[in-house]
A = this chain, B = another copy of it.
Amino acid sequence: MVVDSADEKQADRLFRALANPTRRDIVKRSMRDDYSVSALARCYTTSFAAVQKHVALLEAARLVSKRPRGREQIVRGNTEAIETARRLLDQFEEVWRERIDLFDKVLNQPEKEGPDAGDQH
């Protein structure tokens, strides 16, 4: 029941990290160009520490990675995490497809009863 595995926690972190406009913007920027943490901070009106925390959160969700360059940390967007999120979304549509398949199966085998009780939408 809601298993609460490591994968689930990672899914939590992923979607949680994406649920903030500043963080989404950071992901986009760091996908497009190289940014140090302070360079990112200059893009927003919030404090450096706030941006730093956003980056840390994104890093925990594996949406970005940091690598040191001299005294600064270069933030880099990670497409694999996006792929992971996409696969998670696929799971939802997969179970939806199961419903459709089941519905079709009932439609194509009307030997038992008429589908009058079918309350589609």
Contact = CB atoms under 8 A, between A and B. Distances in A.
Given A79-B93, A92-B82, A15 B12 contact: no
Secondary structure dominating the interface of A: helix
A41 to B, nearest CB: 12
B12 A20 contact: yes
How big is the A interface, by class? 35 or more
Contacts of A21: 2-4, 8, 11-12
Interface in A58-94: 69, 77, 79, 82, 85-86, 88-89, 91-93
Copies of this polypeptide in the complex: 2
B77 A82 contact: no
Interface of A: 1-4, 8, 11-16, 18-22, 24-25, 27-28, 31-33, 43-45, 69, 77, 79, 82, 85-86, 88-89, 91-93, 95-96, 98-99, 119
